[in-house]
Amino acid sequence: MVEKTGGHEAVVLRFPFPEVPAYGEIMEIRDGILMTRIPLPYRLDHVNIYFIRDTNGWAVVDTGIRTDEAISVWEQLFAGPLKGMTISKVIVTHLHPDHIGLAGWLCERCDAPLLTSYSSFMGSLYISLGGRESLTRHNFDFYRCHGMTDEIAGVVAIQGNEYLRRVAELPPTFQRLLQSDLLEIGTRTFRIYTGDGHAPEQVMLYCEEEKLLFAADQVLEQISPNVSVFPGEPNGDPLGHYLRSLRLMQSHMPEDVLVLPGHRRPFIGLRERCAELEAHHEERCDLIRDTCRTTPQSAAALVPVLFTRKLDAHQMSFAFTETLAHINRLVRRGEVEQLVDAEGLITYRTVTA
Ligand SMILES: [Zn+2]
């Protein structure tokens, strides 16, 4: 779900917890705030899980992906460091399988309610319709009209079907978390922030008093969260939404907030990291603008301009939809225009003043 940030001098972030907990172990971040990690079957091999002390047990933030390995690490935790601990709430930050995958399983196992955003809950149910023939056909046509070959479009169009295997069935009900709501967990009060771009209405929890931000995947060290156009909203502007969310965090949160992210290490340096991510995306917009200046290019032809390494089908679907996110941003800004030929093939040309 993520891509390494390239081409920049890394900004200096501070890591108050340089060691991360091993699978099946727990690390204390603050009194009443715990962290663990659950394995993922990808190059990014783990997701961070947090626990917040509640009045009647512990609230858990995120759940992991549905694999036998992840479930066995959870069982190891319940038999070991979490023994005797009650899970009071299951909070899910967003609908990606590495975060929501075991929510249904955990809610049932712990008899706990699910709290998440409306978009996470509904979006997850929507993706579960992925096997529908009309959707597969739409996805195939979408990739084809942007210049992908039949062969690659055929593989990429059914990537979403993997989701069903990796996400346990959600509980029938949930409690909605909405931007600006206050959520009390134990003695702490959290303000809900929702950020778009990486996933719709991704939930973040901010405790102003203690300068703590559960940031999910909105900001991570070293890796730039994937920002993708979703084939159901082909002209969407997720990069615009993402950049807006970065600016909001920069202006609302203090310099020294402790960021507790969905992957890799907790860090201090939110504003610097937001600025760096913004610069990273601007650089990629520049590359597209330069490439489309002389000859119009399809989105598929622009993928290797942004992603120079060889990509498998899974990586190709993310690389393609991320490339399109940059193109759609430039179209919104009036810096690039869309051309459609008689066969319906879409290309983009830089607008010259
Ligand atoms: Zn993630």
Task: Please tell me the distance between residue 124's alpha carbon and the centre of ligand 1 in angstroms.
Answer: 14
Q: What's the 341 CA to ligand 1 centre distance in angstroms? A: 38
Three-state DSSP class for residue 191: strand
Spatial CA neighbour of 103 closest among 72, 61, 151, 145: 61
- 221 Cα: distance to centroid of ligand 1 (angstroms): 13
Would you state the pLDDT for residue 10?
Answer: 62
What mean pLDDT is predicted for residues 110-115?
A: 98
The Cα-based distances of 227 to 218, 224, 317, 321, 325 in angstroms read 10, 9, 12, 8, 7
Residue range 269-279, pLDDT digits in tens: 999 999 999 99
Q: Which of 44-53, 148-157, 263-272, 321-330 has the lowest mean pLDDT?
A: 148-157
**96 Cα: distance to centroid of ligand 1 (angstroms):** 7
CA–CA distance, 308 with 285 (Å, rounded to integer) = 15
**For range 187-214, the mean pLDDT:** 97
Domains of the chain, by residue range, sit at 2-130+156-290
Confidence of residue 6 (pLDDT cuts 50, 70, 90): very low
Q: 105 C-alpha to center of ligand 1: Å?
A: 18
pLDDT of amino acid 130: 65
Beta bridge partners, 224, equal: 3
Q: Is the pLDDT of residue 4 over 70?
A: no
CA nearest neighbour of 327 among 235, 245, 244: 235
If pLDDT is split at 50, 70 and 90, which confidence band does 131 have?
A: low
Residue 353 Cα to ligand 1 midpoint, Å, equals 40
DSSP code string of 246-313: HHHHHHHS-TTPEEEESSS--EE-HHHHHHHHHHHHHHHHHHHHHHTTTS-B-HHHHHHHH--S---H
Per the model's pLDDT, the better-predicted residue between 81 and 311 turns out to be: 81
- How many angstroms does the Cα of residue 348 sit away from the middle of ligand 1? 31
Give the environment of ion ligand 1: residues with CB less than 5 A.
Answer: 1, 98, 217, 262
Helix (H) or strand (E) holding 9: none
Tokens linked to 260:
């507790």
Confidence class for position 3, pLDDT limits 50, 70, 90:
very low
Lowest-pLDDT choice from 118-122, 158-162, 211-215: 158-162
CA 271 – ligand 1 centroid, Å: 21
pLDDT of residue 157: 84
> From ligand 1's centre to the CA of 64, what distance in Å?
9
Q: What is the pLDDT of residues 65-76, one digit of tens each?
A: 999 999 999 999
Non-local CB neighbours of 300 within 8 Å, separated by 6+ positions:
143, 146, 147, 148, 149, 320
- Cα gap 198→132, rounded to integer Å: 24
Tokens of 317: 């679907």
Residue 160 pLDDT exceeds 90: no
pLDDT, greater one: 43 or 28: 28
- pLDDT of 5 above 60: no
Superfamily of chain region 2-130+156-290? Ribonuclease Z/Hydroxyacylglutathione hydrolase-like (3.60.15.10)
C-alpha 293 – ligand 1 centre gap (Å)? 35
